[in-house]
Structure 1
Amino acid sequence: MKNSNSLEGLEKQIQDDLSSFKKFNPNQKIDFIEQNKNEILNPKNPDKSADDPKIKFDEISKLRNFTISKWSDTLDEKTQKWVENTKNSMSNDFLKRMQAWFDAMLKAKELEKQAPELFGENGLFGDAVDMVNNALNLDNLGDLKYQKKVLGDFGDLSDIAASSKGFGNQKGNLNRYSIAQILNYFNMIKNNKALMDICDILGRMQNEEKELYKEKIMELTAYSYTQTTPTKRYKEEIIGITLGNDLENIVPQEMSLLDDEDLELLFDLKYIENRLFCFEKQGLISNQEEGQKEIEKEIEKERKKEDQKGPIIICVDTSGSMQGSPETIAKAITLMLTAKAKKENRNCYLINFSTSTICTDMSGAMGINKINDFLELSFNGGTDVGAGLRVGVEQMNKENYKNSDLLVISDGDFGYIDSNLHKQIEEKRKQKNKFYLLDVDGNSGKKDFFDKHWVYDSNTKNIRILCELKQQMKDD
C-alpha cells in the first residue's frame, strides 16, 4: 500500500486500487466504494466542513483502507477455496491410483497363474510387481497429466492379463493380436524339449574368448640381507658433541682451561660434574640374516569364458500367410525362447517382419510393455525375409550382439535372398555366427541358405530337420 501526502495523490491511488480490484475480481460488487469516493470529493450539499481538504483527505484515506481490506478478504476467500479444491483433487487422485494399483496387483496374480514360468526370479515378466510398485508414485498428486501417466503404467499389465482382446485396426497395415491366445499356446509348449534344445543351440558359446583376471597366491621366498646396527661400544667416527669427563675424547678448547691458573679450577669442577665438552663417537655392528618367508602375491592370469551363452536374434514372420494358428504358434515359441534367454542373462533382439520390420531389444531392463507390444503387433502383408535378415546382420555388427545367432520363425513361404545379402551372411558365418529357420507347419521346400532348416509340426509338436548347410555341402 502506497501512501500519499496530497488529496490528489490519494485520489489517484484509490482509483488505481479500484481498477486493479475489478480486473482480478470482476464479479465483486464494489460500485458503492466509487460512489462514496465521489460523494466525499464532490458533496451534494456542501458545507464548510465538507470542503475542508484535511477532512476530505481523512475520509478518502479511510475509504482506501476499506478498499484494501475488502480486497484482502476476497483474496483470503479465494485462497481457502483453492486449498479445499486442491485437497479434494489430491484425495481423488490418490483413491484412483490406489484402486488401479490393487487392480494391477490382481492382474499380476492372474498372469502368474496363467504362466508361472514367466514370473519368479529372472522371469521375463518378473518385473511386473516392481513395475506396479514403482508406478504407485504419490508425487504430483492432483496433477491430471501425471495421474494419466501413472495409470497408463498400470494399464500395461491389464493389457497382458486381459482374457480376450480380439483384433483391431492400427496405423497403416499393423494389426493388434490376442495375447491370451499366445499365452494359452505357450502353456502347451513350455516343456517342449526340442524347442529348448533349439534355444540351447542359438547363441554360440563365448568360451572361445579369453579374459584376464587377477588371483592372489601365497609364495615361499628365500631372503638374505645384512643388518647394520649402530653401537657406542666402538669409537669409530665422530657423530656429535656431548657432555662428560672422557679425557681421551675431550674437545681441544676445554684443554685450554689448564693453561690458566685461574681457570684450572673451573676445568676440575667441570670434570667432576661430567660437564666437559667431549666428542661423541660410535661404531657399526653388521649382522647377516638368512631365511625363508611366505608372502601373498597378486598375479594376472588368462582363462576362457565358460558356461556363458551368446545373445540371440529372433525374426518372427507376421505376414498374411502366417495369419491365424501359425502366427500364434510362432509368437508363443518366441515368448518361450525370450523367457529362457532372460533367465540365462542373455541378450535377446526381436524382429517382427513382413515387408517391413519392427524391432525390440529385450536386453537390459525389460518392461512388460516391450514384449507385450511386440507380440501384439502383426503386419498381415507380403513376406520379405530379407528385411528381417538385413536388420539381424546389422545388429550382429554391434558389440553386445557380435556372438549372436539368428533364428527365423516362419512358414517358409518366401523366396531366396538377393546376392548382396547372401554375401553379408557368408561374412558373418566366417565370424562363426549362425542363421537358422524354424518352419511352422510349412511345406514350401528346403531353404538351404540357412545353417539348419527345422520344421515344427503343430499337431504332434515334434521338430525335424529338413535340411542342414553342412549336409548340403557334402551332397554337392
Structure 2
Amino acid sequence: MLSAESLNMGLMLAESGLLDAAMTELMSHPQLLLLTERSPAIKRAVQKQLDKWRGHTKRKLMQQGLSPALKQEIQLYEQATEKSARAFESDIQTLLADLEPVSSFHAQASSLAAQQAEHPDPMFQSYFCNKWHAHLKAEIHALQSENLEAQKEKLLDDLYRRIATYQTMDGVDQSGDISKVGRLWDMAASHLSQHDVTLLKRFVTFLEKNPDLQAIAEQLGRMANQVSASGPSQQPTETLKTVPERQVDVPDDITGICQSDRVDRLLPNEAVLLSDPALEVVFYKQLVDKQLLNYQLSGKAHRRQKVETNAPSQSKPEQIKGPFIIAVDASGSMSGFPEQCAKALAYVLMRIAATEHRDCYVMLFSTDHISYELTGEQGLQEAMSFLSYRFHGGTDMAPVIDKALDLMAGDRYQNADLVVVSDFIAPKQSDAMIEKVNALKAQQNRFHAVSLSKYGNPELMAMFDHCWRYQPSLAGRLVNQWWPGKRDH
C-alpha cells in the first residue's frame, strides 16, 4: 500500500499547476510589467529569478511535508485500506474515535457510518475510502496553497526591493543604459538608504565632470580581449548523437503512483468501483478528470538528439574576461581630489564588472589594508562602505600586492586584471615580487597602474603592463601612455 510519503507525492494535486499559476500572477504585477517592458534584459533577469524561485519553492513544499495530525490521518487511511471488508466494518467505531482529534473528515465519516448501519452496502469500505481519499487531497492542496502564498509574499517583497534599488541605480547611472543587466539585478537585492543614493549621485556628478576616468575604466574593461590565448582554439558545433533517455511511456519499471486516465495501468482498488452500479459513475468521473490512481512506469529509450561538441577552429577565440582586483592607495597623500578620482574609478569598474558577470575585489591599503567584494551578494553595501571610507595614514604597497598575487595564483582569479590606483610616491618593489608578477603575466594576467600624481616613481611603475597618468588639474587632463620601453603605437 501507499506510504505516507508516497501518498503525499501522489496527492500533490498538480503542484506544478499551482506554481505556474503563481508565476503568471507574479509577472502580471504592474510594477514588474512596467520595468520588464522597458528592457528585455531585465525581463530575462526577472524570469530567471522566478524560475529559480519556482525550483526552490517546489523543494521547500516537499521538505515541509505534512503536519503531524495529517500524517497520523494518512496512517489511519493506510490501515483502513489494508483491512478486509468485514474487519473494516467491525472496527468502524474505533476508527471514528481515532479520527475525531486529528481530522475534519470525522463528521462526514460518522455520517457515512450511520448510513451503512441503516442500509448495509457490501462496497461500503471502497466508497468510504474514496471519500476519505478526496478529503486528504483537499487537505494537502489547502496546505500547499497556504505555504505557496507565504513564499509568494516573500518573493514579491524581494522583487519590489530590487525594483526600487535598481531604479535608484538607474537614476545614478550617468549613461542611463539599462540594456546590460548582468549582476546588477542580483546586487539590487540590497537596500539603498537616502544617504547611499546621495553618495552615489555625488560620484556620478564627479564622473560627468571628469569623463576621462570613465575612458580609462572602459579601456581597462577591454584589456582581457587583447591577450592572445595559448593552445588550439575550440569552436562549439552541434552533432547528432544517439543517447538514452528516461521516458514515462516505456513500461520497464514501476517507480510510484500517479493520477491519470490510463485504464491499462489502473490500481486494483480503483477497478473495484466498476463492480457496483452505484459506484460506477464515480469511476467514470475520475476517469474523465484524470484522477484514477495509476502505476507510474518509466524506462529507457534511445533517441537521436543534437549535442554540442568542440571542434578545432582557425578563428581567434574570444578571451574569457576574468575578475578585477583593484588596489586603492588610501594614504593621507591621496586625500582630497585624488581620493575622489580613485573612488570614482573603482565605482565605474564595479559597474563594468557587474554588467559583464565579472568579480570585482577592492583592497584599500595604507599602513594596513581592507578588502571589499563589490560584486558579491552584499556588493552594494560593500561599495557603500568603500565609498564612505576616509583616506589617511602612510603608504605600504608591498602587503596588498602580495595579497593580490596570492589571489591571482588561485583558480577563482585566473585571467585577472590587477589595477593599482595610487600616487606611486613609494620605493621600487623587491626583485622577488617582480619575478612573481612576471610569472603571472605569462599566465595571461594583466597588471595596470593608474597614477594620480606626476611625481610617481617610474621604477615602481615599470613592473606594470599598462600605465596611465591622470593628472588631477582643473583641466582634468588625461595622459594615456606606455612608460619607457612600453609605448603603444
What is the TM-score with the length of structure 1 in the denominator? Answer: 0.47
Structure ID, larger Rg: 1
What is the TM-score with the length of structure 2 in the denominator? Answer: 0.46
